[in-house]
Amino acid sequence: MTFVSCKQTGRMAFEVFKPVEVKLEIASLPYSVWGCYLFKNDNQGYLFPLILYNFQCMVVPNQNVTAIPQSRSPIEKKLDQGFVWLTQIFAWGIVVVLLLLGFPIAQQAIPAIQQFGLGFLFGSDWNPVANQYGVFPMIAGTLMSSLIALLFAVPLGVGTAIFLSEDFIPPSIRTALTFLVELLAAIPSVVYGLWGIFVLIPFLRPFGMFMYKNFGWIPLFSTPPGGPGLFPAGVILAIMTLPIITAISRDSLASLPPDLRQASLGLGATRWVTIFRVLIPAAFSGIVGGIMLGLGRAMGETMAATMIIGNSNNLRPSIFAPANTIASLMANQFPEASGLQVSALMYAGLVLFALTLLVNIAAEWIVNQVKAKYQ
C-alpha cells in the first residue's frame, strides 16, 4: 500500500483506492476504502498517522447463482385467502352495525322530519302538549358541556400522560398512578352523579359566586350558581373522560421509538423542547384519537349529566344556569313519550348521531393537516 505524504505540519494526504471486489459464493461485495494520513514533523522525526476508514458495502447478487423459488402449498394459499376474507368481513361488519343503528332511528324519525324539517334544529320550544318541538337548546347544552369538559380534561389528561410516560418518578410509583387513573373508568355513571350532587356542586359554589360577583357583566357568568347547572356538568364530564384521554395519550407517547428522544437530546435540545417539539407532534394522531373518544363519551353521557345539568330546556348564555343535553332529554322523556313525541326524540337522537360523525370527520381533518405540516 502506497500513500502520498506531506512533510508540512498539520496537512493531510488522501489516497483513493480502487474498489476491491471480494468474491463469495453467493455475492460480490465491493469495498471502497479511503486512507487519511496525518503527518507531523518534529525534531525527533516521529510519524503520527491518523487512519480513517469508510467502508461502503453493497451486496450485489452473483449473476452465476440462480435463486430457486419455493412454491407455497395450496393449504397455505387457502389460509391466506381466508384470512383476507375474514378481515374484509370484520371491516364491513362495522359498516353493518352503523347501518343497523342509524336506519331504525332515521325510520322512526321520519314523521318528525316531515312535520318540522330543519326548523327542528333551530327551534327552542319543547312542548309535548302542543306537539311543538325544537332541539336547539339541547344541541347548545351538549356542545357547551362537552367543550367545558375538554377544557379541563385535555390539559390534565395530556399532562398526566407525559408525566406517566417519562421517567420523572420511579417505575413502581408510576405503575400505581397509572392503575389509579385507569380505575376512574370503572366507576359507574350514577356514582359520579351522586358524588357531583353532594360533593362537587357545594365545592364549586364559592367559585361560581366569586365569578358572578366580579364578572357578572360577562354573559357567561351572568347568573348566580343555584345548584345543578352547565358548569358542574362539564366538570363531572371532564372527570369521566380523563382516564380515556390519559390512557390513549400515554400509550401513544410510550410507543414512540426511543431513538426519536435520543436523537433530539443528542442534537442539543432540552428535555422540555424534546417533549413539546418532538414527542407530542410524533404522537399527535394518537392523542387526538384519545381526545375524540373522550369527546364522544362526553356528548353521549346520560346518567351523570342528567343528575347534574338541571334538565332545563331554556337557552341561557350563562354556564351557571341549568341546561339540558340531547342524551338527558331522551332519558327523561322516553318513558312517558308517545306518538309524535317519540318521533321527535328519535329525530334528536339522529341529530346527536350526526354531531358525533361530524366531530370525528373534523378530528381526522386536523390529524391530516398536522401530519402534512411535519412531513
What is the DSSP secondary-structure string of 3-69? -----STT-EEEEEPPPEEEE-SSEEEEE--EEEEE----TT------------B--EE-TT----P
pLDDT at 282: 86
Q: pLDDT under 50 in the chain at which residues? A: 1-63, 65
In a domain? residue 289: yes
pLDDT at 26: 36
pLDDT at 375: 61
pLDDT at 272: 87
Rounded to 10 deg, the angle between the 230-254 and 201-215 helix axes is 110
Q: Are 351 and 140 in contact (CB under 8 A)?
A: no
Domain coverage including residue 229: 105-372
Query: Beta-carbon neighbour count of residue 289 at 10 Å?
Result: 19
What is the DSSP secondary-structure string of 217-260? TSGGG-S---SS-HHHHHHHHHHHHHHHHHHHHHHHHHTS-HHH
Q: Which sign, positive or negative, has the C-alpha torsion 177, 182, 185, 188?
A: negative
Dihedral angle, C-alpha 107, 109, 110, 114, nearest 10 °: -170
Q: Are 181 and 242 in contact (CB under 8 A)?
A: yes
DSSP, collapsed to helix, strand or coil, labels residue 313 as: coil
**If you search the block for the grid coordinates 337522537, which residue do you land on?**
349
In a domain? residue 142: yes
pLDDT at 283: 86
pLDDT at 286: 86
Number of domains in the chain: 1
3-class SS letters over 110-165: HHHHHHHCCHHHHCCCEECCCCEECCHHHHHHHHHHHHHHHHHHHHHHHHHHHHHH
Dihedral angle, C-alpha 68, 73, 76, 81, nearest 10 °: 90
- Give the largest Cα separation in the chain, rounded: 112
What's the pTM value of the predicted model, to 2 decimals? 0.74
CATH number at residue 300: 1.10.3720.10
In a domain? residue 218: yes
DSSP structure class, residue 336: G
Residues with Cβ < 8 Å from 40, sequence gap 6 or more?
9, 10, 46, 47, 48
In a domain? residue 26: no
pLDDT at 77: 81
In a domain? residue 8: no
pLDDT at 52: 32
pLDDT at 256: 87
Amino acid at residue number 111: P
**If you search the block for the grid coordinates 347534574, which residue do you land on?**
308
DSSP structure class, residue 199: I
In a domain? residue 173: yes
In a domain? residue 81: no
Query: Beta-carbon neighbour count of residue 321 at 10 Å?
Result: 20
Distance in angstroms (rounded) separating the CA atoms of residues 345 and 327: 10
In a domain? residue 95: no
